[in-house]
Structure 1
Amino acid sequence: MKNYKLLAGLLPVMMAAGAANAAEIYNKDGTKLDISGQIEGNHYISSDKAEDGDNSFVRFGLRGETQVNDQITGFGFYQAELNAASSEASGDNDSKTRYAYAGIKVGDAGSFDYGRNNGILYDVGGWTDVLPEFGGDSYQQTDVFMTQRAGNLATYRNKDFFGMVDGLDFAVQYQGRNDENDRNKSERNGDGWGMSTTYDLGMGLSLGAAYASSDRTSRQSEDMLGDRANAVSTGIKYDANDIYLAAIYAQTYNMNIYGADDLVANKTQNVELVAQYQFDFGLQPSLAWVYSKGKDLGYDVGSKTYNNQNLANYIDIGANYYFNQNIVAKVDYKINLLDDNGFTKDAEISTDNIVSVAIVYQF
């Protein structure tokens, strides 16, 4: 029973880091190195041909730590992913770096790291990004400002408010620009900053809030929505007694991308709700609702203008089954509630249901 409680508690970490635990490959003189990995055979079933088919992949990561003295610790983490669905003849394995950062921690003064990491908004958004396959996508988008994984991030974190208040954590983050005028050559974001705070009240109950504000690049601002992209997120979660409950609400401004042409929503209102239970014998059922509403979109289709439209709206029913901490079977059913109308058709936003079935080996 204790093993399954541990697995339930580790689930958010597993989703972020891609492993339930790690294998230590070096530990000497205060320096250690762990390797983690995940091999997932995953198949999507959907009437949407763009989604249907093999979705298998491999992830591996390296985490290092070195003890400089009794107060100072250096650390680093790297994680890559390889797509296993492409053919060998295609020469395209879609390899990508998910995380790559290094930093230093100084006792109760906190830690500082720089590199490719989670954006500050994910400190709260990650609470609901724990579904077997889907979820965490109402406003969290990769390489879109500081909503999820992104590059050029410098992050300061402090736990227990300098060691004086148990459970009260906060973080401040700066993101350097990623646009066509720098070495990244990618119109992702201008300079920005954000902050978050979470408070563990005890008995499994936690509260959290995060805020981020960034310059938009010159090319992004050509849509006349404004020169700034802003977001605020709040959340609450309960994680105890084999029960996991989480809810978040977020608003974004000039930030979220939608549709096949990567248009930007003037404003979004987002809700994510998750409920899970870990049974002693390894089964963990999951139920969730993910919703995002775009406001003042000004999307023209023929003679009709769509202003307020749902960008995401689905119920998710799924389950994980832990044979042990290394082998997991999972199924996830995304029941799409979006209307099949002129807006979704023209913007090429999928309104189809998707089922994911997978078996995972992780270490």
Structure 2
Amino acid sequence: MKLKYMPLLLVPFYGFTQAAEIYNKDSNKLDFYGRLVARHQFSDTVSADGDKTYARIGFKGLTTINDTLQGFGQWEYQISGNVAEGQEGNHSRTRLAFAGLKHASLGSLDYGRNYGVIYDVESFTDILPVFGADTYTRPDTFMQLRAGGVLTWRGYDFFGLVEGLNLAIQYQGKNEDSSRAVRNQNGDGVGASLVWQSDYGLSLGTAYAGSNRTDAQQQKSGNNAGRAESLNAGIKYDTGKFLIGSVYAETRNMIWAGGSDWTLGDAGYGKWGAVTDRTRNIEVAAHYQFDNGFRPSVAYLQSRMDYNGISGNIVKYADISIRYFFNKNFSAHADWKINLLDDDSRVIKATGISTDNVLAAGMIYQF
């Protein structure tokens, strides 16, 4: 079987709709992409208020090895623009860095820092300009979002048997060195996703990931369970102009709630932080792209946790946003996060999670 043309990126490529081709010769192709986000946020919560400007750049490369085999790679980096000169180091980060091979009939295999398979389905609701898709997915939380040391195999059209049915299997090696924050550690884990995409805009998907928790996580997180797990299922309908997506997810022994350190307090009276025993998460988001460039969006997100006999919401908000595209490279946006958490709930009083609204406004240049 001869290898058909393969897009430069084999996993879903979110946030960028175009890239600048900087090299294409002798079966080698290199695209450069980026975005500059000039954004200001307004909130009574200090950490959510103020300048949030940043720049993001990356490249995607592809080389044809023979009629059935191609090599590929991607790197992406983000630089904060809201800190003093010389202090960017703690605020800038590598988002993606992976390389791999794709075979015409055997699928693709890549390794490095990449998206976890849980995000294959979570992406159904990640459509808002600023907020959204944040009830249970966080970077470097096992295989929920972007993660390090993941080996990913992807097969397309279910081995040629079912068009549009894509299977992914992922392994993550342990990351437990002392320089890594305890909440961002992980033991060995495996995950898988199954997503069906129809020709008329309907997508259905489910994904599972399970990992061992490190000794430090069991000893210092308020939760001594030996394994962390997550499972989600979602549906999306996308006509090109209208999009609506919905995801339901559950996690066990995985999601951090509360204070910024690992010091536990009295859950009834004092501030505390711990890894939840369980979370149940709902996300629904929709937008419509008008021909004149306007794209209004609405969303609802909720995460309810259980920990040590306590239950309550740790995420609950509605979102209203609008984005205007001047052209494919430049847009402006306003995104209003309407917090629906109860100030008087036991969980909020104990954890200190913010219940403030946030308004974000800005402009984006991308290529």
Q: TM-score, normalised by structure 1?
A: 0.90
Cα distance in structure 1, aligned partners of 2:109 and 2:322: 36
In the other structure, the counterpart of 2:149 is 152
Alignment pair present for 1:198 and 2:195: yes
1:180–1:106: structure 2 CA closer, same or farther, 3 Å change rule? same
In the other structure, the counterpart of 1:266 is 277
Secondary structure of the 1:202 match is: coil
Out of 304, 314, 320, the position equivalent to 1:293 is: 304
* 8 A Cα contact 1:226 1:254, kept in partner: yes
Cα distance in structure 1, aligned partners of 2:24 and 2:86: 41
Alignment pair present for 1:344 and 2:348: yes
* 8 A Cα contact 2:157 2:165, kept in partner: yes
1:97-176 paired onto structure 2 within 5 Å: 97-176=94-173
Out of 166, 174, 177, the position equivalent to 2:174 is: 177
1:197–1:360: structure 2 CA closer, same or farther, 3 Å change rule? same
Aligned-partner residue type, residue 360 of structure 2: S
In the other structure, the counterpart of 1:362 is 366
Q: Mind listing any 5+ residue stretches in structure 1 that lack a counterpart?
A: 1-11, 299-305
1:241–1:57: structure 2 CA closer, same or farther, 3 Å change rule? closer
1:247-286 paired onto structure 2 within 5 Å: 247-260=246-259, 261=261, 263-286=274-297
Root-mean-square deviation (CA, aligned residues, Å) is 1.7
| 1:241-275 per-position Cα deviation (integer Å, ceiling 9, x unaligned) | 51101000000000111112352110000000011
* 8 A Cα contact 2:223 2:253, kept in partner: no
* 8 A Cα contact 1:269 1:292, kept in partner: yes
In the other structure, the counterpart of 2:34 is 37
1:269–1:100: structure 2 CA closer, same or farther, 3 Å change rule? same
Cα distance in structure 1, aligned partners of 2:20 and 2:199: 31
Q: Mind listing any 5+ residue stretches in structure 2 that lack a counterpart?
A: 1-10, 262-272
Cα distance in structure 1, aligned partners of 2:109 and 2:88: 38
| 1:136-193 per-position Cα deviation (integer Å, ceiling 9, x unaligned) | 1111111000110110100000111123311100100000001037xx6553110000
| 1:73-101 per-position Cα deviation (integer Å, ceiling 9, x unaligned) | 10000000000000116465611000000
Cα distance in structure 1, aligned partners of 2:112 and 2:66: 24
1:4-15 paired onto structure 2 within 5 Å: none
Alignment pair present for 1:308 and 2:311: yes
Cα distance in structure 1, aligned partners of 2:180 and 2:197: 40
| 1:105-153 per-position Cα deviation (integer Å, ceiling 9, x unaligned) | 0012100000000111000011111111001111111100011011010
| 1:213-266 per-position Cα deviation (integer Å, ceiling 9, x unaligned) | 100001111234410101110000000151101000000000111112352110
Cα distance in structure 2, aligned partners of 1:320 and 1:244: 14
Alignment pair present for 1:207 and 2:210: no
In the other structure, the counterpart of 1:48 is 45
Cα distance in structure 2, aligned partners of 1:172 and 1:31: 28
Aligned-partner residue type, residue 147 of structure 1: Q
Secondary structure of the 1:127 match is: helix
* 8 A Cα contact 1:225 1:266, kept in partner: no
* 8 A Cα contact 1:215 1:227, kept in partner: yes
Cα distance in structure 2, aligned partners of 1:345 and 1:134: 24
In the other structure, the counterpart of 1:332 is 335
1:13–1:318: structure 2 CA closer, same or farther, 3 Å change rule? farther
1:216–1:89: structure 2 CA closer, same or farther, 3 Å change rule? closer
1:241–1:123: structure 2 CA closer, same or farther, 3 Å change rule? closer
Cα distance in structure 2, aligned partners of 1:59 and 1:241: 26
Cα distance in structure 2, aligned partners of 1:202 and 1:118: 25
Cα distance in structure 2, aligned partners of 1:91 and 1:149: 21
Q: State the percentage of identical aligned residues.
A: 44
1:185–1:50: structure 2 CA closer, same or farther, 3 Å change rule? closer
Q: Work out the number of aligned pairs and report it.
A: 340
In the other structure, the counterpart of 1:231 is 230
